[in-house]
Amino acid sequence: RKEVEQDPGPFNVPEGATVAFNCTYSNSASQSFFWYRQDCRKEPKLLMSVYSSGNEDGRFTAQLNRASQYISLLIRDSKLSDSATYLCVVNMASNTGKLIFGQGTTLQVKP
């Protein structure tokens, strides 16, 4: 089983749509969770951390389900500029701060 698993997509949605991405992780001792965004041929950039109680940042909502080892990202009112690859990232519970990245889910928002 992969340490961090995501559906690669692509997800093709119209502007204004709501879209959700899911991610599962294998290590139940994982402590920190993040969503990163990566544009084509650019470096990944931190989108948001994921907290146990769930958290929201504008149009973006992240959820964590520790029992099912599952993370989600919800994007409301999609914009053209949201088109990118979204990486699910998990801290592997070591003291090195090592992060493991999922393969990424590609989102294409169409006019």
Partner 1 sequence: ETGVTQTPRHLVMGMTNKKSLKCEQHLGHNAMYWYKQSAKKPLELMFVYNFKEQTENNSVPSRFSPECPNSSHLFLHLHTLQPEDSALYLCASSRGQNYGYTFGSGTRLTVV
87 binds partner 1 (CB under 8 A): yes
Q: Which of residues 43-62 bind partner 1 (CB under 8 A)?
A: 43-46, 49
18 binds partner 1 (CB under 8 A): no
Task: Select from 11-19, 21-29, 40-48, 58-66 the region that touches partner 1 (CB under 8 A).
Answer: 40-48
Alpha helices in 6-91 (DSSP H): none
98 binds partner 1 (CB under 8 A): yes
Residue count, binding to partner 1 (CB under 8 A): 26
What are the contacts of 44-48 at 24+ separation with CB within 8 A? 44/87, 44/101, 47/73, 47/86
The answer to whether the beta carbons of residues 13 and 107 sit under 8 Å apart is yes
Report how far Cα 39 is from the mean position of its chain's Cα atoms.
Answer: 14
CB 40, min distance to partner 1, A: 11
